[in-house]
Structure 1
Amino acid sequence: MKFVKTDVLEIGYLEVGPPNGEPVILLHGFPYDAHAYDQVMSSLSARGFRCLAPFLRGYGPTRFLSDQTFRSGQQGALAADLLAFMDAMAIPTSLLGGYDWGGRAASIVAALWPERVKGLVSCGRLYNIQSISNALRSAPPEEEQKLWYVYYLNTERGRVGLLENRRAFCRHIWSTWSPTWRFDTATYERTLASFDNPDFVAVVCHSYRHRLGGVPGDPLYERIEALAADRPKIAVPTIVLQGNDDTLNPPLLSDTDRGQYTAAFERRIVCGVGHNVPQEDPEAFTAALLAL
Structure 2
Amino acid sequence: MGDVRTGTVEANGLEFGFLEAGADGGPLALCLHGFPDSAHTWRHLLPELADAGYHAVAPFMRGYAPTAVPDDGAYQAGALVADAVALHEAFGGGSDAVLIGHDWGAFAAYGAVAHAPGRWRRAVTLAVPPMASMVTAFARYEQLKRSFYMFLFQTPLAEAAVDAEFVAGLWRDWSPGYDAADDVARVMDCLAEPANLAAALGYYRAMFDPRRHVDRYAGQQEAVSAPAERPVLYLHGADDGCVGADAFAPDGDLSAVLAHLPPGSRAELVPGTGHFLHLERPAEVNRLILDWITTA
Scaled to the shorter chain, the TM-score interval is 0.7 to 0.9
**SS across alignment from 2:227:** coil
| Mapped contact 1:121–1:288 kept (Cα < 8 A) | no
Hey, what does 1:210 align to over in structure 2? 206
Query: Does the C-alpha gap of structure 1 residues 270 and 287 become closer, same or farther in structure 2, counting only changes over 3 Å?
Result: same
* Distance in 1 separating the partners of 2:230 and 2:12: 27
TM-score by length of 1: 0.88
Correspondence for 2:104? 101
* 1:110 equivalent in structure 2: 113
Residue-pair matches, total: 280
Which aligned pairs between 1:1-292 and structure 2 lie closer than 5 A? 1-64=6-69, 69-93=71-95, 94-128=97-131, 139-162=139-162, 166-183=163-180, 185-213=181-209, 215-228=211-224, 231-251=225-245, 252=249, 253-255=252-254, 256-290=256-290, 291-292=292-293
Helix, strand or coil at the partner of 2:230: coil
The match for 2:3 is none
Please tell me whether the aligned partners of residues 119 and 237 of structure 1 are also in contact (alpha carbons under 8 angstroms). Answer: yes
Note the alpha carbon deviations across 1:70-97, whole angstroms, 9 max, x for none.
2222101111111111112221331111
State the one-letter code of the partner of 1:212: F
CA deviation map 1:31-76 (0-9, x unaligned): 00010111111222223221100000111210147xxx22222101
Q: In structure 1, the residue corresponding to 2:244 is in which secondary structure?
A: coil
Contact residue 12 and residue 82 of structure 2 kept, 8 A: no
**One-letter amino acid of the structure 1 residue matched with residue 58 of structure 2:** A
Q: Could you tell me whether the CA contact under 8 Å between 2:111 and 2:223 is conserved in 1?
A: no
Give structure 2 stretches of 5+ with no counterpart. Answer: 1-5
TM-score by length of 2: 0.87
Cα distance in 2 for residues equivalent to 1:126 and 1:248: 12
Instruction: Kindly provide the amino acid, as one letter, of the partner of residue 207 in structure 2.
Output: R
Q: Distance in 2 between matches of 1:227 and 1:45?
A: 30
Is the alpha carbon distance of 1:130 and 1:106 closer, same or farther for their aligned partners in structure 2, counting shifts above 3 Å? farther
Q: 1:138 to 1:219 in 2, by over 3 A?
A: same
In structure 1, the gaps of 5 or more residues are none
- Letter paired with 1:92: G
> Which amino acid is the alignment partner of residue 250 of structure 1?
G
Q: Do the aligned residues in 2 keep the contact of 1:277 with 1:285 (CA within 8 Å)? A: yes
State the shift of 1:227 in Å.
4.0
* Superposed CA RMSD: 2.3
Aligned partners of 1:59 and 1:197 also within 8 Å = no
